């Protein structure tokens, strides 16, 4: 019998429906299926790794697995990306120019303009979404950093979280950086991983690799469908920390310094054919704020310490290569390596964020904004460099070494910030033996290239909206046959730094602090003959400057770049974030609060913490932070102890606590020179004080607030060694934070926050 017109729920059913199954025919729907023989795809993205840090690009660091990929694939010498992290990741995963995708800066800002929405829009399709629509399993591990920091906690929108943007599974850090021994918060799929204490021997790169390998093994135990693995390493972003065994391999190897290392790396690059004969290496950067001192001008103490930083960095690069080897090994064990496209690249060039001398206290530098006597490099024991105890970063001399043979760093549009390694290997589909491609390619090209190589299509819509078209173009003809690049022009911009590439010409401008952001001082380079951008020919070719400057302006409007924003503008946040500073009561057993939410309860202000207990025991009442900075309140041996960790310098105050105590209070008062004074009282009676402590600002405390335990990274190293996370043994009812008004002047806050955003990428 026919289905009556008022029946519902049968729309689209392709079988036959009667009154019983005897006179009906079943039909099933199936998910998309990948084409027969579709390759697996693995994209390995490194953070803040410059052009020369791996064997295929001239490094002395041992990278045998990358050497193997380069030997079975192609190396690009002229691949470009954006100058910062979130913009590069957005472009890589969408094929869309960064501002047009909404990421004109990193996801630790929110100034309120279209090119800086810092969340993926509904009409932006991502590579994992496209691949999943084509029948792929999709996995992401590592750093995400495409979520505004205000949206990292429970109850906030997750529209830009990995599993909402096409990944079946995700494990890693939503943040722009993290500790390698004590991550402040890891996320599995859509929730925080609850952990009090990381196991002995824990190291983040190993943890991420374990998860990546596990995803692949789990898939193959259930299905033969092809997979996409996006492995976005947290390395090499600071703070730099390394396993002792990996650092030991490089002990003493950097005593000769960065000048000689840059020479040897450049010589290796020339010998490998990465640059044409006659290419000049850039000299040390000399511009104020970017400058590098001659190694031989440093004191013996400086040389010793600076070399130690580079040993740590080299060991971390080695660790990343080991991780790559583990992933390749499991794919090879499954018999699928030949039919797996593997891409290796970096999000931007090496960084100058360690300053001229590096730092042993990564988060401390911002605290000196209103105190000329503050030492950003807290002079910790040099033996602790690279260990779990410290967060360090190298001096910018090593950053320019990382970017050999180029000038400048991450954050600038010159080659040092945007020209990075790119290796692609696919033995079954693109038999190669180490070929070099010197054609121009850009980060937006990756998504269309991978789809082209795999023979896959991009849906025209996303969520019922016309999907934004790719800005990138497929580089498959370049890779396969060495054809000329079809990506012939490209704009770039970050906080006023500008660039425009067209057919071998490159127009560049550095934004000087304090200068008019819309009055660029253009420099012009013919990068066909001057790939290291040393010879400004703008005076010789004023017509070309005018032509490319007009093209930059047109591209800026076409890609949502305007309005141009300064770093000071980026300190602006949406008004509703003020609610994050409302008083809050945290009950015992509440999971560790997310970092950003926690910071809003204390940053730049007076605040009070009231701890309510039903009976006095021993253990931690509240802790906020980790070895890089924080504070802790605990009871031990009949005393109430308040400990304050000022960027690794730990101080305690203590007093008696009666057995019948019920309310323990910490009052923090802002003092001059960005300091706090603390008063601790029990049931209203003062018992201890701790004055003149440097405020924890910007990214510190890095680990959020935990109640009844010192979770994850320890605020007090000594206490952790003695008592572990030290869970409270008594009956703890709640901890209430009552933030007072901000007491630090707005100009100081804006400067600290805008400076910190650069580090947070």
Annotated catalytic residues are: 85, 145
Bridge partners, 652 (sequence order): 643
Cβ contact 740:669 at 8 Å: no
Identify whether 663 is preceded by a cis peptide bond (ω within 30 of 0). no
The span from the CA of 684 to the CA of 94, in Å, is 57
For 270, counting Cβ atoms within 10 Å of its Cβ (0-12 exposed, 13-18 middle, 19+ buried), the class is middle
The span from the CA of 296 to the CA of 256, in Å, is 9
The span from the CA of 76 to the CA of 355, in Å, is 30
Element (H, E) at 401: helix 396-402
Nearest partner of 499 among 574, 563, 561, judged by Cα: 561
| DSSP collapsed to 3 states, 98-137 | HHHHCCCCCCCCCCCCHHHCCCCCCCCCCHHHHHHHCCCE
At a CB cut-off of 8 Å and minimum separation 6, what does 76 contact? Answer: 421, 422, 423, 424, 436, 437, 438, 439, 441
Cβ contact 107:147 at 8 Å: yes
The span from the CA of 399 to the CA of 377, in Å, is 17
At a CB cut-off of 8 Å and minimum separation 6, what does 197 contact? Answer: 711, 712, 720, 724, 725
- In the block, which residue shows the tokens 């910018």? 396
At a CB cut-off of 8 Å and minimum separation 6, what does 140 contact? Answer: 128, 162, 167, 169, 170, 171, 172, 229, 230, 231, 232
The span from the CA of 128 to the CA of 446, in Å, is 13
At a CB cut-off of 8 Å and minimum separation 6, what does 523 contact? Answer: 507, 508, 509, 533, 536, 538
The span from the CA of 295 to the CA of 293, in Å, is 6
Q: Report helix, strand or coil for 666.
A: strand
Spell 250-269 as b/e; 16+ CB within 10 A means b.
Answer: beeebeebbbebbeebbebb
Cβ contact 485:556 at 8 Å: no
The span from the CA of 101 to the CA of 164, in Å, is 16
- Any idea of the CA torsion for 745, 748, 751, 752, to the nearest 10 degrees? -110
Question: In this structure, what token pair is assigned to residue 759?
Answer: 């580090």
């Amino acid at each position: 019998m026919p289905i009556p017109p008022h029946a519902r729920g049968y729309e689209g059913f392709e079988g036959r429906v009667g009154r019983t199954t005897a006179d009906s025919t079943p039909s099933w729907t199936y998910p998309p299926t990948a084409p027969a023989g579709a390759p697996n795809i693995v994209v390995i993205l490194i953070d803040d790794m410059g052009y020369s840090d791996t064997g295929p690009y001239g490094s002395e660091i041992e990278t045998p697995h990358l050497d193997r990929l380069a030997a079975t694939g192609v190396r690009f010498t002229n691949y470009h990306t954006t100058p910062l992290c979130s913009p590069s990741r957005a472009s890589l995963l969408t094929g869309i120019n960064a501002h047009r995708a909404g990421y004109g800066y990193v996801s630790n800002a929110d100034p309120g303009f279209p090119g800086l929405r810092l969340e993926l829009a509904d009409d932006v399709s991502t590579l994992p979404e496209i691949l999943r629509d084509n029948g792929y399993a999709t996995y992401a591990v590592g750093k995400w950093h495409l979520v505004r920091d205000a949206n990292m906690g429970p109850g906030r929108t997750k529209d830009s979280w990995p599993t909402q943007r096409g990944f079946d599974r995700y494990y890693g850090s939503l943040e722009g950086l993290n500790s390698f021994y004590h991550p402040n918060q890891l996320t599995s799929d859509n929730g925080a991983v609850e952990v009090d204490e990381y196991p002995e021997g824990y190291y983040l790169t190993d943890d991420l690799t374990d998860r990546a390998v596990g995803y692949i093994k789990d898939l193959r135990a259930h299905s033969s469908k092809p997979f996409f693995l996006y492995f976005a390493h947290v390395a090499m972003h600071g703070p730099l920390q390394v396993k002792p065994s990996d650092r030991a391999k490089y002990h003493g190897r950097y005593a000769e310094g960065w000048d000689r290392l840059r020479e040897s790396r450049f010589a290796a690059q020339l010998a490998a054919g990465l640059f044409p004969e006659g290419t000049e290496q850039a000299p040390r950067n000399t511009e104020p704020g970017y400058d590098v001192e001659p190694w031989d001008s440093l004191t013996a103490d400086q040389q010793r310490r600076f070399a130690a930083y580079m040993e740590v960095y080299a060991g971390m690069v080695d660790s990343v290569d080991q991780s790559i080897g583990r992933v390749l090994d499991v794919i090879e064990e499954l018999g699928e390596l030949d039919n797996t496209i593997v891409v290796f690249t970096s999000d931007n060039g090496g960084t100058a964020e360690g300053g001229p001398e590096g730092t042993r206290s990564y988060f401390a530098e911002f605290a000196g904004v209103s105190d000329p006597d503050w030492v950003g490099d807290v002079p910790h024991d040099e033996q602790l460099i690279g260990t779990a105890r410290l967060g360090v970063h190298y001096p910018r001399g090593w950053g320019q070494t990382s970017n050999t043979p180029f000038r400048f760093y991450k954050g600038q549009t010159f080659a040092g910030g945007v020209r990075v390694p790119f290796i692609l290997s696919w033995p079954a589909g693109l038999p190669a033996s180490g070929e070099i491609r010197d054609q121009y390619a850009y980060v937006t090209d990756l998504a269309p290239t991978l789809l082209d190589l795999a023979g896959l299509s991009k849906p025209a819509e996303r969520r019922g909206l016309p999907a934004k078209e790719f800005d990138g173009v497929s580089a498959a003809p370049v890779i396969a046959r060495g054809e000329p690049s079809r990506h012939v022009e490209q704009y770039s911009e970050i906080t006023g730094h500008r660039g425009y590439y067209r057919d071998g010409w490159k127009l560049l401008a550095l934004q000087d602090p304090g200068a008019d952001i819309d009055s660029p001082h253009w420099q012009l380079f013919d990068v066909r003959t001057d790939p290291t951008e040393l010879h400004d020919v703008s005076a010789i070719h004023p017509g070309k400057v005018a032509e490319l400057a007009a093209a930059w302006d047109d591209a800026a409007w076409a890609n949502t770049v305007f309005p141009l924003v300064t770093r000071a503008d980026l300190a602006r946040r949406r008004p509703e974030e003020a609610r994050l500073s409302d008083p809050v009561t945290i009950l015992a057993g509440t999971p560790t609060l997310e970092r950003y939410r926690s910071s809003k309860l204390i940053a730049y202000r007076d605040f009070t913490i009231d701890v309510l207990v039903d009976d006095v025991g021993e253990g931690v009442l509240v802790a906020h932070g980790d070895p890089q900075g924080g504070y802790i309140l605990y009871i031990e041996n009949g005393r109430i102890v308040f400990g304050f960790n000022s960027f690794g310098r730990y101080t305690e105050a203590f007093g008696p606590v009666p057995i019948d105590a019920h309310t323990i209070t910490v009052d923090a008062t802002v003092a001059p020179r960005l300091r706090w004074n603390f008063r601790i009282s029990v049931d209203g009676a003062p018992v201890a004080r701790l004055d003149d402590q440097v405020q924890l600002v910007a990214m510190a405390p890095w680990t959020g607030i935990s109640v009844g335990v010192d979770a994850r990274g320890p605020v007090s190293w000594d206490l952790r060694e003695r008592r572990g996370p030290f869970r409270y043994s008594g009956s703890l009812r709640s901890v209430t934070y009552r933030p007072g008004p901000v007491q630090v002047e707005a100009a100081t806050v804006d400067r600290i926050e805008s400076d910190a955003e650069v580090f947070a990428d």
